[in-house]
Structure 1
Amino acid sequence: MVHGILGHRKNMSSFAKMLVEGFPSWQVLLVDLRCHGESARLPSRPGGPHSVASAAGDVLGLLRRLRLFPRVLIGHSFGGKVVMSMVQQFNQRLPRPVQVWVLDSLPGQVRAGGGIDGPDHPGQLIELLRSLPQPLASRNEVIDTVVRAGFSPHIARWVVTNIRPVDSSGKLGWTFDLDGIAELYRSYETTELWSLLQQPPQGLTLDFVKAERSSFRWGGSDEAAITGAGHGVHLLRDAGHWVHADNPLGLYDIIAPSFGGESDLKQRRSAALRH
């Protein structure tokens, strides 16, 4: 399960726990992509170029070291392109059949305008964060600065989850590499993966989740191009771009069949309470 730009693996942890609760025989692997979270602090962290393809290569390298390959790959936003690139790098020979879920992202160029890319355009947010003097004064001051720049309060609060003390004096800094992230986001904007949909490797099942309140990402021909190539598009009601946080139960219901069943999570929780 792969997070989006400016995120970290903990962003996906609540939804991962929900999946394991519904399907206890499954395990979920969460990763911090290059330039993010703990990966940004590794002494042997990878150098550039920082791109969708190189981030995908990192995850594939981890899977090779662990000697496993997942049956299901789930990626949110930037992470959606990462999981598609992972599959594409195998060309026509997947290690095993795999289901890929792309959450509120598209195979082609990212188009700004409307929805989250209005006041909360990630590229503009990255540049604002890069402009802040280091060390950071306080989490509250960063929140105020981000909101004054026109970003929404919930985005400002989310961003400061990536702040940590950088030394024993309590000075604060970012957990991520903002210069590297800026390069990753530029790659995300321009990376084209439509060829994967048009010539998918044998054994690939590919589905997209479209957030009801993120329709700006979907041009008039995008959905038709995806379904016309034989892949699925699923509308998640009552959700903005952060699908796994806005409507986790709805997302669970869409994805659950990929795990070999239609586990009713509400029923399972009710049964657990009775016992």
Structure 2
Amino acid sequence: MKYLVRYCLLLVSASIYCHSQEIQDTTIQYETNVTDPAQNKLFTMSTGQTMQQGQLSVSFIEVVVLQVNYAVTDFLQINLLSLPTEIRFDDRHNDLNLVLGVKAQILKSNGLFQGLSISADYANVGNKYTSCWDECYEHYEGPVDNLFNLYGRQSPDIMLANVAASLGGDRLKGHFSIGQILYSTDALETQYYGQAGIEYRLIQRFQKDAMKLMLEATSVNSPTGFASPAYLFGFRYIARKTVIDFSWPLVIFKNQLVTAPYPFGSLNFFF
């Protein structure tokens, strides 16, 4: 119930903000359609692109996660994310998840090829409880668990390296990403993960806003082999300075569909 109340408050705030921006923009004449300022990511996965130069974004993810991104140039982006983990996991007390990363677009868009990027992130996630092995998905809590597959909760420090590419056109794009996860704890082996996503523009209202349909899949190798893919399927609402993402996480494990206890959502402001 508390998550539902938070989401309702979040959506009301977003609606008020978007309406105020539309009023301010009535005196401005735009020559092009609204573009997606969050072109650097889907729900959680990286794409082959970075944000536009000089752009700053502040994002609230699942209500309790704060993320800040800044595009230093047209090819380099700095990322900072924080998560008060005691809100998400009962066994973590007074921990603060901090992630600092950089992302560089090494190949620009050219025709159907939309870009190639590399990124590196360092995460300090505090001490975790003992990880589970066979029945991990009984504790599945959505995108926070997708990338680490519930396996990285034992390691206080994590390094991630990633390569992402994007293909497509203005209306339909596909994204592909591979990477590895390094743990500071010797007992944990290096993990590899793969992600694939697709976005399709459903609605484009000239000079105002747009709506996209998005699908994202993540798979991480576990001690017993690659885990069943975890999926995020939902929508993205795009205004000129605001992006709202909404989806419901799910995973297929042992031929059973497992869903997260609450949806995934993010509210992103761009300056």
TM-score (norm 2): 0.29
The structure with the greater share of residues assigned to helix is 1
TM-score (norm 1): 0.29
Greater relative contact order (Cα 8 A, min sep 6): structure 1 or 2?
A: 1
